[in-house]
Amino acid sequence: MHIHIVGICGTFMGGVAQLAAAAGHRVTGCDANVYPPMSDQLRAAGIDLIEGFSVDQLALKPDLYVIGNAISRGNELLEAILNEGLPYTSGPQWLGQTLLPGKHVLTVAGTHGKTTTSSMLAWILEANGYNPGFLIGGVPSDFGHSARLTDSNYFVIEGDEYDTCFFDKRSKFVHYRPKTAILNNLEFDHADIFENLHAIETQFHHLVRTMAQNACVVVNGQSEALARVLARGLYSQCEFFNDVRGWHLEGTDVFCRDQLIGTMNIQLPGHHNALNALAAIVASTHVGIEPEAALNAMKDFCGVKRRLELRGIERNVAVYDDFAHHPTAIRETIAALKQKLPENAKVVAVFEPRSNTMKMGTMKEALPESFSQADVVICYADPKLGWDAQAALSPLGAKLHVCHSIEETVNATLAVIGNGDAVLVMSNGAFGGIHGKLLAALKL
């Protein structure tokens, strides 16, 4: 089958493309921004790429168009596909109907930690000989790529609650029909598509409704929102983590109810990462992996790119990159880095409010508290930002610096860092290549 993917260069759709190619399909695709590293990955997989959305792509005459969720009505190629009555579907629907049937699907959902927990779960399965396929919204360092298709019966997929496509406003994860699902946590996010937290809870309820009686839901027992989800109907087996009713941590000791299982020993700092690992371990037991074997695998887990990733050290200043763009994730990431550093080292948080929710200003009131543990906060306020960053972050006082260009942000950062300090760059985008600019300037 020839599949043409419209909007191919995002992390998810690029992963779908690679899986489709690995399954033996002819895959082509287009996007507005065809550039590395995704373009290199796709071309290496034998996928032909086209820049832009010109109507002349109809001449390719694929058997099916797969439409990415970034593509909206008014797109020239999409409108032509609709006008001609050509066959199309979404990426999640194509996966759910084509690659996932017959497999034991393990889905990781939640506001925070999906990419890290999915990577941990895939690694536990890999280390125990399960050879899983996977599709993850980041690049696990242990695998070096975000998607893989194998002949294994097991497939790990990051379950995004964002909407599926222009014609399907359900969350992506409802298409996956998991046999094992982790519900890691649940807070309000994606204000561009969800009116409130209740609306997101409904999508999680829909996910749980698709699961069989012999499936297993692994749930963070400390989340009130997830408790409300379960109260609306639970049809499968349930294991709690982060809760004395089930699996929990006491320091580094892992308990299942009142039974000591072993010791958590992971390379990643932060209590949130220990909980991510615990959730992955619990989920792995549902496919038959012994807890001790899962704990042993986690000792070697190397992390995920763009999740507190060390990008370099120059003049004894470390520059880290992190995807954090929600107040809770920001707070937990800063706390994890503080835990990792010597007591006298400063954490200089360099932040770009770039996600749709952040640009809308929906969570601006929560930001000062989320940055409270940082020693210096430098906010890059793009001229198109829809709110006053200086005013919103003013409770941070003298440790706040607001900048309006990448160059100004680099200079402000260089002016405040000293020997042994750490720069924590936080954005869900490329942030103008600021990591490299900082390291290059420090090298001079």
Q: What is the pLDDT of residue 35?
A: 66
β-strand pairing of 317-322 with 309-314: antiparallel
Single-letter amino acid, residue 422: A
**Measured distance CA(406)–CA(387) in Å, rounded:** 18
- Entry pTM: 0.87
The domains of the chain, with CATH numbers, are 2-91 (3.40.50.720), 100-298 (3.40.1190.10), 309-443 (3.90.190.20)
Strands (E) located in 52-116: 64-67, 88-90, 104-109
Half-sphere exposure of 20 (CA within 13 A, CB side): 31
Instruction: Render 198-260 in DSSP notation, one character per residue.
Output: HHHHHHHHHHHHTS-TT-EEEEETT-HHHHHHHHT---SEEEEESSTTSEEEETTEEEETTEE
CB 254 within 8 A of CB 208: no
CA-based angle 158:306:430, to the nearest 5? 105
Mean pLDDT by 10 residues, the chain (444 residues): 95 94 96 78 89 96 96 97 98 97 97 92 98 92 91 96 93 96 89 87 96 98 97 97 95 95 90 94 98 96 84 93 86 89 92 84 88 94 88 93 94 93 91 92 86
Token pair, residue 228, equals 């409300």
- Cβ atoms within 10 Å, residue 84: 9
Of 28, 34, 27, 31, residue with least CA distance to 7: 31
CA-based angle 264:118:338, to the nearest 5? 55
What is the CA 427 to chain-centroid distance, rounded? 12
CB 363 within 8 A of CB 357: yes
CB 409 within 8 A of CB 437: no
